[in-house]
Structure 1
Amino acid sequence: MAWFPGGTSVSRVSVYDWPTVDGCAGGSPHLHTASAEGYVVLAGSGRVETLGADGFASHPLTRERILWFTPGTVHRLVNGGGLEILVVMSNAGLPEAGDAVLTYKPELLADPGAYAAVTAIPDGPGVEEFVRRRRDHAVEGYLWWRSRVETEGPAALAELHAHAAKLVRGKASGWQNLWRDRPLAEAHRTGEHLDALAAGADPEHLSHASVFAADAHPGPRRYGMCGHLQTFDVEGAQPAR
């Protein structure tokens, strides 16, 4: 098995065009506790609003620019019209395993049961309505946290980060296996190749040159935090024919 380069994952996101309480259309603000994320604009325009060590910022998203951010950065995608992006995530598998935490107000973040009730998408009808409500909860919380950051400075995020870390604590030990088997294993493999090349050893690894391909998961795009997702089956990648 050859993972996507760097043990990353990619998905195509059509950012929601649903309006929010402040008049902006877009997705659910959230942060990642262990993974970095990058955006490549495929179509349309918009921006990403962030809360981080430098406070609040609004970054334009265009085809002439790529943007990425580190764990702990609160990010909110705003759709300026037809915004579609390619999302590149570090640590493939971790975001899907619960690495993302939505920016609800403290009372929801402090109660794991209440958090799960408004976050985990249920099976059956009414999914879009549920996802819209989830997004609205996250936006309302985000605007509350943003107000605190603008008033108190970036230190106001310490409370949000503490809630996020507590919510994911029970999952983090399982994430270590994903990290070891994917990005860390890829890095070690590269290190072995470099050692062999530097030592003038037989470049045996080059004899295994192969091409892999991964198809998009079939069916309609699923509901994600920020938009409709087209994901790719990198775990089931096969040699390209």
Structure 2
Amino acid sequence: MTAPEAAAAGHAGAIPGFPGGTAVSHLHVYDWPAPDGLSGGSPHLHTASTEGYVVVRGEGVLETLSGAGYTRTPLGPGTLLWFTPGTVHRLVNVDGELELLVVMQNAGLPEAGDAVLTYPPDVLADPDAYARATAIPAWTGFADAASAHAAMASAARQRRDLAVEGYVRLRERVRKQGPGTLDELYGAAVDLVRDKAAGWHHHWERGPRLQAETTRRHIGGLAEGDGAHLRDSAVYTADSPPGPRRTGMCGLLKVWDLDGAHPVG
């Protein structure tokens, strides 16, 4: 058994994964106005992961394009919702204060390329153009942190605006012609991720799959009167990397380092 397998299985001395193999981040949704006058994040979809939100502050709207067509869901403190792969989602920051806790299925997989932005069709059809439009400059190479942050924010805003451009056109087609018009986007998304997808299995195997198998073994043991796993009980915590928040697709992100988790006490 590998170290990640041992960790997910909860063996003594190993660090078990976060519940469900999920990842958690704290998101300040961008308050930058987009070309259509609405402030918020970059519209995109996930090809293999479900995403959940818990609103902790502010007011907003979640716009979605899915098999149910076009929908708008109001967001306020205490709102809980989630959506499945293929759902195009756009966070709109109504009062400039919108903050969410984001729970992401399959920790590590979205960062590996599971997300696809709603760029115009010509960009989606060209992997090199897509990569150029999506890239955010690294911190290295700048004179100071302020310069790096400004460059990253500028790139994130350009990326967001291009995604909104494609999204607005797509939204109108969905409203007029129905959700079947999403098939063109879905085909482009599959083409963009297909070469990466084979490498995604380990994110699922070391997270959700192994945690489910661990629970199965625990239940089986309990049914036989064996509670040996209870002796491995412990509390764990994870830190957030130092420095400014990351410029994510939808806002400024605080991401906990789950791979660096450690026991309490």
- Counterpart CA distance in 1 for 2:44 and 2:80 is 19
**In structure 1, which of residues 160, 176, 181 is the aligned counterpart of residue 201 of structure 2?**
176
1:223 corresponds to: 247
1:119 aligns with 2:143: no
Cα distance, 1:23 vs structure 2: 0.9
Q: Tell me the amino acid that sits aligned with residue 111 of structure 2.
A: E
Which one of the candidate residues 76, 92, 98 is aligned to 2:90?
A: 76
Identify the structure with the greater strand proportion: 1
Q: For 1:217 and 1:42, how far apart are their aligned partners in 2?
A: 21
User: How far apart are residue 22 of structure 1 and its match?
Assistant: 1.4
Query: Shift of residue 172 of structure 1?
Result: 0.7
**TM-score, structure 2 length as denominator?**
0.89
Unaligned runs of 5+ in 2: 1-14, 143-147
Q: Deviations over 1:33-69 (max 9, x none)?
A: 0000000011111011000001000001112320100
Secondary structure, counterpart of 2:207 in structure 1 = helix
Residue 106, structure 1, aligned to residue 106, structure 2 = no
Other-structure match for 2:227: 203
**Which runs of no fewer than 5 residues in structure 1 stay unpaired?**
none
Amino acid at match of 2:181: A
Residue identity matched to 2:264: A
Letter in 2 for 1:89: M
Distance 1:49 1:217 in 2: 31
> In the aligned structure 2, how far is the partner of 1:131 from the partner of 1:75?
17
Name the amino acid aligned to 1:232: W
Superposition deviation, residue 127 in structure 1: 1.7
1:53 aligned to which of 67, 81, 88: 67
Partner of residue 164, structure 1: 189
Distance, in Å, in 2 between the alignment partners of 1:93 and 1:77 is 22
Cα deviations by residue, 1:126-154 (Å, 9 ceiling, x for unpaired): 22111111000000100011011111100
Following the alignment from structure 2 to structure 1, what is the Cα–Cα distance between the partners of residues 33 and 131? 24
Cα separation, 2, equivalents of 1:79 and 1:233? 26
State the AA in 2 paired with 1:64. G
- Partner secondary structure for residue 106 of structure 2: coil
Partner of 1:43: 57
**Out of 207, 221, 235, which is 2:259 matched to?**
235
Q: What secondary structure is seen at the aligned counterpart in 2 of 1:235? A: helix
Q: In structure 2, what residue type is equivalent to 1:226?
A: C
Residue 236 of structure 2 aligns with an amino acid whose one-letter code is F
RMSD over aligned Cα atoms: 0.9
Instruction: Measure the CA separation in 2 of the matches of 1:183 and 1:120.
Output: 29
Among 15, 20, 23, which residue is 2:37 paired with?
A: 23
Q: Distance in 2 between matches of 1:28 and 1:16?
A: 9
Question: 4+ residue runs of structure 1 moved beyond 3 angstroms?
Answer: none
User: Is the CA contact 2:135–2:155 (under 8 Å) kept in the aligned structure 1?
Assistant: no
Q: Does 1:86 align with 2:101?
A: yes
Q: In the alignment, which residue of structure 2 is the partner of 1:154?
A: 179
By how many angstroms is 1:198 displaced?
A: 1.9
1:128 is matched with which residue: 148, 153, 159?
A: 153
Q: What's the offset of the Cα at 1:120?
A: 1.5
